[in-house]
Amino acid sequence: MANLIRSAKSSSDWSCNDLVAYNITVVAQSPEDFFCTNTEPSLDDIDPSLINSAVYADNVDESTFHYLTFLDLATKAAQKTWIDEFARQTLLILGFEERELVMITGLPIPLTICGDDRRTAQTDVCLLSRQSTILLIVQGDKTLFNGSDPEPQVIAEAIAAYRYNNMKRQTGGLPTLDTMIIPCITMVGTRPTFYLVPVSRALSTAVETGQYPETPTKVTNCVTILGPNRRFSEGMESPEYRRLAFQRFIAFKSLAKEYWQTFHV
**pLDDT 10s digits, 36-85:** 998 889 999 999 999 999 999 988 999 999 999 999 999 887 678 889 99
What's the whole-model pTM score?
A: 0.95
HEC string for the chain: CCCCCCCCCCHHHCCHHHHHHCCEEEEECCHHHHHCCCCCCCCCCCCHHHHHCCCCCCCCCHHHHHHHHHHHHHHHCCCHHHHHHHHHHHHHHCCCCCCCEEEEECCEEEEEECCEEEEEEECCEEEEECCCCEEEEEEEECCCCCCCCHHHHHHHHHHHHHHHHHHHHHHCCCCCCCEEEEEEEEEECCEEEEEEEEEEHHHHHHHHHCCCCCCCEEEEEEECCCCCCCCCCCCCCCHHHHHHHHHHHHHHHHHHHHHHCCCCC
pLDDT for position 94: 97
Q: How far is residue 178's CA from residue 205's CA, in Å, rounded to a whole number? A: 11
- pLDDT (average), residues 158-169: 97
Mean of the per-residue pLDDT values for the chain? Answer: 93
- pLDDT (average), residues 202-206: 98
- pLDDT (average), residues 15-28: 97
**pLDDT 10s digits, 135-154:** 999 999 855 545 578 999 99
pLDDT for position 254: 96
**pLDDT 10s digits, 78-130:** 678 889 999 999 999 999 999 999 999 999 999 999 999 999 999 999 999 99
Instruction: Report in angstroms the alpha-carbon separations of 242 from 36, 118, 145, 206.
Output: 21, 40, 21, 39
Share of the chain above pLDDT 90, in %: 83
User: Would the pLDDT of 169 be above 80?
Assistant: yes
pLDDT for position 234: 84
**pLDDT 10s digits, 234-263:** 899 999 999 999 999 999 999 999 999 999
